[in-house]
Chains A and B, each alone.
Chain A
Amino acid sequence: MATMKIKGAEELYRALEMMSGIEADELAKRGLHEGMKPVADAVRSNLSSVIQNGNGDLLNSLGVSPIRRNDKGGWDVKVGFAGYDGRPQKGFPKGVPNTLKARALESGTSRGQPKRPFLRKAVNAVKSAALNNMQQEIEAGLEKAFKEFKK
């Protein structure tokens, strides 16, 4: 029967144990930040190519949320739209929510807004790059922790 030995796994395990909770959280957040960057850039680029006159407000409302702890103990970050378009109308005293306008653009409507998917296409295009960025950042952090352990 074939056997396999993985060398260094015990040391890596101990190095990971040595990382404090705060260090691990900061590494996770840095990884998320690096992963979010290509996604935000792609969404912005796609949105720019599909919006027409009068929708500059929508582009300005696109942003990235703060990185927050989720209820499963992990960390989340979101790319999305905030605020209102500032043009009050029936049913929307503060103006139409930018999230609603973005959704109408992404999915189309029965009233006459043609479908212009920009968000899903952006995510499809950069998902690999985003995951790669996260992996590189986290691996670099783990490598540093491992080297500290070996000192």
Chain B
Amino acid sequence: MFDELVSVLLNVAPDVYHYEGFKKAGNYIVWAEDNQGYSVWADGKMQNQVIEGTIDYYIKDEDDTAILRVQAELNKIDISYRLESVQYENDTEFIHYEWVWRIGV
């Protein structure tokens, strides 16, 4: 169901993990599906289910343009997203970009 998503994330970073990945040395991505987004019901049943999840990209270089590549790759395969947060984790010195995505299934 999420093969396309994983495939495009691998175009951005070689290290892509599902659900968990931490204490790494270089840039890496963690992705996960975590709940149902705004789905559509009609005639007493669900007509269109939307799955929502996140992509977390951990980088060390503040000038890393790979951030834009994540968004370009998601656009290429028509996955809707928003940039949820950008956090600097001072104990590991990673800059943590977090996107929320939605896919209709």
Which A residues fall within an 8 A CB radius of B? 91, 103, 107-115, 117, 120-121, 124-125, 127
> Taking the complex as formed, is B65 at the interface, i.e. its CB lies under 8 A from any CB of chain A?
no
User: Are B54 and A124 in contact (CB-based, < 8 A)?
Assistant: no
Note all chain A residues with C-beta closer than 8 A to B36: 124
> Taking the complex as formed, is B10 at the interface, i.e. its CB lies under 8 A from any CB of chain A?
no
User: Are A109 and B89 in contact (CB-based, < 8 A)?
Assistant: yes
Chain A at the B interface: SS class: loop
Chain B at the A interface: SS class: strand
Q: How many A-B residue pairs have CB under 8 A?
A: 59
Which B residues fall within an 8 A CB radius of A? 19-20, 22-24, 30, 32, 34-38, 52, 54, 56, 58, 84-85, 87, 89-92, 94, 96, 98, 100
Known: A108-B22, A109-B89. 17 other contacts (CB 8 A): A107-B85, A107-B98, A111-B89, A111-B91, A112-B22, A112-B23, A113-B22, A114-B19, A114-B20, A117-B35, A117-B54, A120-B84, A124-B35, A124-B38, A124-B52, A125-B35, A127-B38
